[in-house]
Amino acid sequence: MSNLRVLIVDDEPLIRQGIRDGLSACEGIEITGECDSGVGAIDTILSERPDLVLLDVQMSDRTGLDVVRDVGPQRMPAVIFVTAYDQYAVSAFELNAIDYLLKPFDDDRLKAAIGRARERISAQREASLVRQLQALLEMKGRKWPERLAFRNGDGFSLVPVDTVDWIESANNYVLLHCGSKHHIMGETLTTLENSLSPDKFLRIHRCRIVNVSRIAAVRPFLSGTYQLELHNGTRLSSGKQYSDAVRRLIKK
């Protein structure tokens, strides 16, 4: 059984110490770090990707619920809320938290919450594997579009997918960079990403997708990110949360 990677988030040092001591009595736990603020929690969750977050509900800069919303439900790991106010339990379970710990809590209560979390995470991983296998089977028979359509005056123009160098987010629109030409499409970047072949296009940033065939060089950049240079000289930086995808590309 692999270790459960846990992040502790609380602005009270004594509470963090108590959680750390309690976790030391639980087998298979790896504490990946501690944060004393909501901002720090968001950055650490996105960079470290723990399996479980023990998350304080009330912090000086923002609430635990704000942290969940800012990270986003798709990227947020499993959560056990830590709170001194029982009324937050309702909000916790509305956000699909695994459990909540009401301060002050003892080691037995903490251990029970960790056990519940381990069961939930294991079940989610199994379900995720099933979804991945189903998606793989569906992709084998899927045909990816050869052209993209964008509005041009009263009509629509078509641009071959293979002519796109990279794609940039512009709020609820995307900008297609095709050599010296640029086209605006009325799609979000995520929607367009899901319609493009993952063998040809790679999401490297929350605001950027790149045509893999246009990449000429990849260089380490700041804080574990990368800078990608295209054949036309364009340089694009990756986002930290997409660094694994860039590393997989390099190893192919």
Give the phi and the psi of residue 61 in degrees, each rounded to 5: -100, -30
3-state secondary structure at position 222: coil
Q: What is the pLDDT of residue 159?
A: 92
Q: What is the pLDDT of residue 15?
A: 93
Which among 146, 141, 187 is positioned nearest to 163, based on CA atoms? 146
Q: What is the pLDDT of residue 1?
A: 53
Q: What is the pLDDT of residue 152?
A: 80
* pLDDT tens digit at each of 252 positions of the chain: 578 999 999 999 999 999 999 999 898 999 999 999 999 999 999 999 999 999 998 898 988 888 988 888 778 888 998 988 766 555 555 556 788 888 888 999 999 999 989 988 888 777 776 666 666 666 555 678 889 988 887 788 899 999 999 999 987 889 999 999 999 998 889 889 988 998 899 999 999 999 999 999 999 988 889 999 999 999 999 998 899 899 988 886
Measured in Å, how far apart are the chain's first and last C-alpha atoms? 29
* Distance from C-alpha of 19 to C-alpha of 114, rounded to nearest angstrom: 11
Q: What is the pLDDT of residue 64?
A: 87
Long-range pairs of 214-220 with CB within 8 A, sequence gap ≥ 24 = 214/165, 214/166, 215/249, 218/246, 218/249, 218/250
Ordered by where they begin, the domains of the chain are 4-138 (3.40.50.2300), 147-251 (2.40.50.1020)
Q: What is the pLDDT of residue 210?
A: 98
Which among 211, 222, 221 is positioned nearest to 249, based on CA atoms? 211
